[in-house]
Amino acid sequence: MTVPDVVELREGARRRAAGRPRGPELASVRDVRGPDGVALRHYRPAPQPRPLLVVRRVQNQLVPVPLYQPGRF
């Protein structure tokens, strides 16, 4: 079994990323940990509050998770 050279892999990833178009400008990006220790990344597109959309994967598709349903509470 051959172990790939990590430095070489990272350089290749940087080259591929440099060839892609730049994404949208963000006000902030923050790495956090969820309650169960899962690493999460919080992207804030603007400094002021924005609506939050939570999705989950169901049969390889992203499905919105309703956080509030009128009449449910």
Residue 27 counted as domain residue: yes
Range of the domain at 37: 22-73
User: Which pLDDT value is given to residue 19?
Assistant: 92
Beta bridge partners of 63: 56
In whole angstroms, what is the distance from residue 55 CA to residue 66 CA? 9
Task: Give the pLDDT confidence of 5-43 residue by residue, as tens digits.
Answer: 888 999 999 999 999 998 888 899 989 888 888 888 888
pLDDT of residue 2: 67
**Residue 5, domain member (yes or no):** no
Structure tokens at 37: 């220790």
Residue 50, pLDDT > 50, answer yes
Total number of domains constituting the chain:
1
The single-letter DSSP state of residue 60 is T
